[in-house]
Amino acid sequence: MARDPRYDPLFEPLQIGPVTAPNRFYQVPHCSGMGFQRPRMLAAMRGIKAEGGWGVVCTEYCSIAPSSDEGHYPCASLYDADDVRNLRAMTDAVHAQGSLAGVELWYGGHTSANLDTREVALDVASLPNTATHGMPAQSQAMSRDDIRAFRAMYRAGAERALEAGFDIVYVYANHYYLLHNFLNPYFNRRDDEYGGSRENRVRLLRELIEDVGEVIAGRAALAVRYSIASDFETDPELLECFRLVAELPDLWDITVDDYDLEMGSSRFVREAANQAAVAKIKSLTSKPVVSVGRFTSPDTMLAQITGGVQDFIGAARPSIADPFLPRKIDEGRLEDIRECIGCNICYAHNSLGVPIRCTQNPTMGEEWRRGWHPEKIQKRHADQGVLVVGGGPAGLEAARALGQRGYTVILAEAERELGGRLNRETRLSGLSEWARVRDWRLGQLRRMPNVAIFPQNRLDADAVLELDAEHVIVATGASWRRDGVGRHSNEAFAGHDSDAVIGVEDVLDGRLPDGRVVIYDDDHYYLANAIALQLSTAGCAVTLVTPADRLAAWSGFPDEHSGIMRSLYAAGVEIQTAQALVGFDSGVARFAHVHGGPDASLDADYLLPVTAREPDDTLWRALNARADDLAAAGILSLQRIGDCRAPGIVAQAVYAGHRAARELGSATPRARRDRVVL
């Protein structure tokens, strides 16, 4: 298929200083959870992006000195010749596909706890550490000598960037790191030539642009990552600072200074949410501008270019969900694009200090470790058939990947609609974009003549044995428990069998209670609070109770927590923390304070526990107990995957389905470990 000519502007080359980007698709610097610790994984992942058509592919933030140490988060670094060699692997992989490679030179300032190096962080002032782990430590206020040394440090980083083969070198001036703090009068209260007036506060940024420009002159482009207030009309300070340096670099990479808006989850932030601020910046400079907006629609991307909002389509999460997004637009295969769902599972795992992964793209992070390619998969090992039982996230992905390999696949689903848990959960407010996990896979499956789909077919063991399939994959999901068993307690609470105790599936299937509802959240992620919002909107008086010290604590990793709390307070949901459910009787839910504080008793017409799930593995257990019958029926393998094996997040279920399909008929390869061997 050929590209729709409407999208031609997305594929026009554009000069950035001394280099030329082959198109307008720009993978901005984004975290990977790999960093300097996993250089081969990092190089393979970025190389795949370039193969997929991203004209510019950048690193994550790249530390220029040990006093900017982000541990435990893995980041890139350019301290020495070893770092140069490691990052050369990335630039080589990107250049092999004809794309430009960019590096974001980073110094964290008071955000860096330096837990690994134990160095003292420098900043505009002595500011308390603001890393997620919140160390009780402060930065060192920079003297003039420190500033001179810092400038030399940046120059050295730029020299090493050239040695590593980068085409675009960044000065990083946002996200409340050191340079942003010099610009911001909230932090910069210095009384020397680097504080006070706007000209003084911009001085260090100007000097670094000039320093790096001298180092890389004619050999690489100079980019600056910069942020302004999302409400720049009422908070114009950073915008006014921008005017003083608007023409200095070769490229501006623009964000807003509200991280919840810049990379907010789809529950709270829609596509292209930052573009008013980006358009304002674009109107103030003649230099090319790139920005993100979780762009998933090619038409939205096109509008950014043709409308003059920006010159490049910046992407982090959409390039993770589909590294081949540009190529699919170029080839006229829009229906094949795996659209980002904005769940921020990628960011969550970087926050956990491990390689990123993706709900939509199960190969993310496995390009080198397991040799997985997002578009290519090995052909079937034999002319055999596979029965997949269950059409939830795991079963859909298993059937899709098996179909791609060329197997004859039967996909049987007990319910009328395929999608499993996604069908229910995506009806909740803010979760509609998660339906893309189901819809993309159904779209792919319906185009595969070797895959037969049978909804409303609840199979038992005898029915499975009668079908003509050499391999059986059971993906029958899991069900939410009603008895309160979860992380905090492995015992059921007294009164769990009351008719007034309702299950998660009841609510998700539309059987809504009324009156006073207490939701007990021992899951700590999105579901309990999403249900609380739904019930509150329906008119219930809702109280959310958790045994944890912080409601929805795990949601902090995908950076959803503040959005969740704001929405709950706005909806009038009452919240109680550190209370463990012990009983429910006669319309009263009883709780014990986990730290010995005052217990709680709450009047409730209904109690809804959101705790643990029970794997629905009855079919697998029945088949697994009939080894002789399996052999007689010619069934060579039986496995269970996804939630019916081990309940988890949707991303884990999709990964399980993909892995089962990849490994069918072959010895399970050991995942390679990316490490330094002495």
Q: Which of 660, 511, 27, 677 is nearest to 317 (CA)?
A: 27
What's the angle, vertex CA 204, arms to CA 200 and CA 209, rounded to 5?
A: 125
Q: What is the CA radius of gyration of the chain?
A: 27
Task: Write the DSSP assignment of 205-236 as a string of letters.
Answer: HHHHHHHHHHHHTTTSEEEEEEEE-TTTTT--
- Note whether 656 and 642 are within 8 A (CB): yes
3-state secondary structure of 35: helix
What's the angle, vertex CA 86, arms to CA 84 and CA 92, rounded to 5?
A: 90
Q: Bridge partners of 216?
A: none
- Note whether 398 and 657 are within 8 A (CB): yes
177 in catalytic set: yes
Which listed residue (7, 154, 177, 407) is catalytic? 177
| Cα–Cα distance measured from residue 547 to residue 612, given in angstroms and rounded to the nearest whole number | 14
Handedness of CA 139, 140, 141, 142 (dihedral sign): negative
Number of H helices, E strands in the chain: 22, 27
User: Token pair of 135, please?
Assistant: 């160390």
- Within 91-153, strands assigned E span 100-106, 122-123, 140-141
Q: What are phi and psi of 7, to 5 degrees?
A: -90, 10
| Cα–Cα distance measured from residue 404 to residue 379, given in angstroms and rounded to the nearest whole number | 8
Number of Cβ within a 10 Å radius of residue 352: 14
Number of Cβ within a 10 Å radius of residue 514: 12
Omega before residue 72 within 30° of 0, cis:
yes
- Note whether 660 and 675 are within 8 A (CB): no
Q: Which of 339, 320, 527 is nearest to 436 (CA)?
A: 339
| Cα–Cα distance measured from residue 485 to residue 489, given in angstroms and rounded to the nearest whole number | 6
Number of Cβ within a 10 Å radius of residue 246: 15
- Note whether 54 and 10 are within 8 A (CB): no
Q: What are phi and psi of 61, to 5 degrees?
A: -60, 140
The Cβ-side half-sphere exposure at 503, using a 13 Å CA radius, reads 13
b/e per residue 466-504 (b: at least 16 CB within 10 A): eeebbbbbbbbbbbbbbbbbbebbeeebebbebebbbbb
Q: Which residues have CB under 8 Å from 103's CB, separation 6+?
A: 58, 59, 62, 76, 78, 87, 161, 164, 166, 168, 169, 170
Task: Kindly give the pairing relationship between strand 312-315 and strand 25-27.
Answer: parallel
- Note whether 25 and 313 are within 8 A (CB): yes
Handedness of CA 27, 30, 35, 40 (dihedral sign): negative
Number of Cβ within a 10 Å radius of residue 539: 10
- Cα distances (Å, whole numbers) of residue 58 to 47, 79, 283, 364, 589: 10, 18, 25, 16, 53
Locus of tokens 């593995």: 617
User: Token pair of 382, please?
Assistant: 């034999």
Cα 262 to its chain centre, rounded Å, is: 13
User: Token pair of 490, please?
Assistant: 């492995």
Q: Which residues are catalytic?
A: 177
